Amino acid sequence: MRLYGSIEAGGTWMKCAIGDENASIIDSVVIPVTKKDETIEKMLEYFEDKDITALGIACFGPLDLNPDSETYGYITKTPKIGWENVNIKGIFEDKLKVPVVLDTDVNGALLGEVMHGAGKGYKDVVYITIGTGIGAGIYSGGNLVHGMLHPEAGHIILKSARGDHYKGKCPFHKYCFEGLASGPAIEDRWGQKGETLSDKEEVWEIESEYIAQALVNYIMILSPKKIILGGGVMNQEVLWPLIREKTLEMINGYIDTKELRDIDNYIVPASLGGNQGLVGGLELAKTAIV
């Protein structure tokens, strides 16, 4: 039996796992992110004696995923201290002597959901995580979309919701989806974390308005057959019916499909219990062996 390795690389935690050919996780560890070298050393240690055939890394970005580029496989311009210009693919390839397949954290999570979760059987799926940041992975015609870099669909520009005077948190765009609707944006706007604001109706009216705006844009451009939402903010149950309702309201009958008529099964939660990134990493690793 072949074993594969997977890393879900985040700003706070590095999750590492070993899995089998069915992308079932056999073993996993969570390594807290400290200094870059120390963190990478611990990850290498974990994989060293595991006899993996290939490694998949679902990593925070931006990443250079262009095989023709000199910095292919690098984390590029991240604000995360010490992690800028790190050859994440190269380091693991050199030390572990196995092929490494790198993709964005959201593409990894998306692939996990497409192969084993809520997106199974679909060729056109969008996966959006709404947490500390907002990111989206896009599966189109059965392929993960990369394009010139990779989609940064958390940074699409939105229009201010009615009654919202918040200035936006993204240092690059202010009025982008992440700047207006990420967990930190909620906290900044209301002075409290989203977790503690469940009973404040106006918080979720505004939040769902932004999420619905973004979903309508994705629907109009990508025509996905399934939209999967994950991330900490989506634990706020009250958001789900509001998002579905506002999405239909904004589409305003312009398109009418069986998917939209069954909106509860169209806009759905992530289904792999937080393991979508690791499962996706295993699937990425499997693509190295054909």
Closest CB 277 distance from ligand ADP, rounded Å: 9
Within residues 156-175, the interface with Zn ion by CB under 5 A covers: 170, 172-173
> Which of the ranges 65-73, 127-135, 170-178, 278-286 carries the binding residues for ligand ADP, by CB under 6 A?
127-135
Q: Is 281 in the site for ligand ADP (CB under 6 A)?
A: no
State how far the Cα of 107 lies from the Cα of 93, in Å rounded to an integer: 20
Q: Which does 173 bind (CB under 5 to 8 A by kind): ligand ADP, Zn ion, none?
A: Zn ion
Q: Which of 146, 155, 187, 288 binds Zn ion (CB under 5 A)?
A: 155
Q: Is 181 in the site for Zn ion (CB under 5 A)?
A: no
Q: Which does 176 bind (CB under 5 to 8 A by kind): ligand ADP, Zn ion, none?
A: Zn ion
Closest CB 195 distance from ligand ADP, rounded Å: 4
Closest CB 137 distance from Zn ion, rounded Å: 17
Q: Which does 194 bind (CB under 5 to 8 A by kind): ligand ADP, Zn ion, none?
A: ligand ADP
Closest CB 19 distance from ligand ADP, rounded Å: 21
State how far the Cα of 31 lies from the Cα of 129, in Å rounded to an integer: 21
Closest CB 13 distance from ligand ADP, rounded Å: 8
- The string of DSSP letters for the chain reads ---EEEEEE-SSEEEEEEE-TT--EEEEEEEE--SHHHHHHHHHHHHHTS--SEEEEEE-S-B---TTSTTTT-B-S-SSTT-TTB-HHHHHHHHH-S-EEEEEHHHHHHHHHHHHSTTTT-SSEEEEEESSSEEEEEEETTEE--TTS---GGG-B-PPPTT------BTTTBSBHHHHHSHHHHHHHHSS-GGG-TT-HHHHHHHHHHHHHHHHHHHHHH--SEEEEESGGGG-TTHHHHHHHHHHHHHTTSS--HHHHTGGGTEEE--STT-HHHHHHHHHHHTT--
Q: Which residues pair with 287 in a beta bridge?
A: none
Sign of CA dihedral 230, 236, 241, 244: negative
| Structure token pair of residue 32 | 């807290």
Within residues 230-269, the interface with ligand ADP by CB under 6 A covers: 231-233, 235-236
Q: Which is nearer to Zn ion, 36 or 155 (CB)?
A: 155
Within residues 192-211, the interface with ligand ADP by CB under 6 A covers: 193-195
Instruction: Tell me which residue of 225, 209, 211 sits closest to 126, measured CA to CA.
Output: 225
Q: Is 184 in the site for ligand ADP (CB under 6 A)?
A: yes
> Which of the ranges 69-77, 125-133, 149-157, 281-289 carries the binding residues for ligand ADP, by CB under 6 A?
125-133
Q: Which of 28, 76, 132, 287 binds ligand ADP (CB under 6 A)?
A: 132
Within residues 230-249, the interface with Zn ion by CB under 5 A covers: none
Q: Which is nearer to Zn ion, 180 or 239 (CB)?
A: 180
Q: Which is nearer to Zn ion, 80 or 123 (CB)?
A: 80
Query: What residues make contact with Zn ion under the rule CB under 5 A?
Result: 155, 170, 172-173, 176, 179
Query: What residues make contact with ligand ADP under the rule CB under 6 A?
Result: 10, 131-133, 183-184, 193-195, 231-233, 235-236
